[in-house]
Amino acid sequence: MELWMWLGKQFLGESLAISGFEDFKSAVKRSLFDDVEHIVAKAGQKVPPVNPEIVAKERKVIEIERVALDMDTDAMIVPCRDGFQLKLNKKLPLVRQRFACAHQIGHTYFFDINKNPPEKPYRRSTSHYWVEEGLCYEIARRILMPTSMMHEWMENANPPYIKEFKDMMLSFLVSGELLSYRIQDIGSWDVLMLIFESGGGAIMLYKVLKSGNRMGNVHVARRGLKVTDPTLHDLLSRAFKGEMVQEEGINLTIGDLRGEIASFGASYMGSYPPKVIAILTL
């Protein structure tokens, strides 16, 4: 509550007369995300890939240093005189460094930057930590994939969208999983995005993301579902080998989802363990 009230004062001003706490949080997030997209534009980032290191200057990040950090530490933000120092783990691949930088920019929103050096304006707690982390993930997505840039791609795409998905990964220089969440944020495609893992000779469901108004009541399965449908297994196996798979009007069984799939596209996303994304329209 304390964190949200402080954010509310920063982004909604003193007039916090919004009925219901959930509506209040939604209003705070809208205003926060509008500011994030504003600083991306102010930093002159008009086409992908966005350079988060340039955007960082708009949040008083005065120094970015690539250093050898512990393997479980991607990056860190350190308050200092006149702003922040940002340290990136130089051992990370470029795509992950870009995300780590954008994520740390998000953390600057949880400091009072009018103080010198910037200070946390609320007491630290486990609940505050997880709220902040969740919002920083959302902020990072909007820094690397601003709404206006995403719309230019998404409005001209056609089912099964998998070619456009791969092209967006390359253009925005982001991971497939991060892109999936951003597509879900925007919600202009009515699709299911199913991410599969391969290991131990089996293909298993890793994550289900839904986009668009039509998918709200569609239930697939929980994480860990083993793929047994022979047609689906064949399609995914081809994708794991590097093929971009596109099919229309096929019958599949994926957990509780059974029947004809209007369009199906699948492609390898990389990462470890290996992952494939399948995009389905019903």
Map out the domains of the chain as residue ranges.
2-144, 148-281
Q: How confident is the model at residue 15 (pLDDT cuts 50, 70, 90)?
A: low
Quote the CA–CA distance of 5 and 24 in Å, as a whole number: 9
Question: Residue 148 pLDDT more than 70?
Answer: yes
| Nearest one of 178, 181, 206 to 194, comparing CA atoms | 206
Both tokens of 6, joined, read 């402080």
Mean pLDDT (whole number) for 6-21: 80
Mean pLDDT (whole number) for 1-15: 85
DSSP state of 117: S
Quote the CA–CA distance of 274 and 80 in Å, as a whole number: 40
Chain mean pLDDT for the chain = 94
Quote the CA–CA distance of 35 and 44 in Å, as a whole number: 14
Proportion of the chain above pLDDT 70, given as a percent = 98
The answer to whether the bond into 117 is cis (omega within 30° of 0) is yes
If one looks up domain 148-281 in CATH, what number appears?
A: 3.30.450
DSSP state of 5: H
The CATH T-level fold of domain 2-144 is: Arc Repressor Mutant, subunit A (1.10.10)
Task: Read off the pTM.
Answer: 0.94
pLDDT score at 17: 62
pLDDT digits (tens, 9 = 90+) for 78-132: 999 999 999 999 999 999 999 999 999 999 999 999 999 999 988 878 888 899 9
Both tokens of 253, joined, read 């069984």
pLDDT score at 281: 96
Quote the CA–CA distance of 53 and 41 in Å, as a whole number: 13
Both tokens of 15, joined, read 């007039």
Q: What is the DSSP string of 223-245?
A: TTPBP--HHHHHHHHHHHTT--E
| Nearest one of 94, 99, 50, 43 to 75, comparing CA atoms | 99
pLDDT digits (tens, 9 = 90+) for 117-135: 999 988 878 888 899 999 9
Lowest model confidence (mean pLDDT) among 120-124, 148-152, 245-249: 120-124
Tell me the helix, strand and coil percentages in the chain, rounded to 5: 45, 25, 30
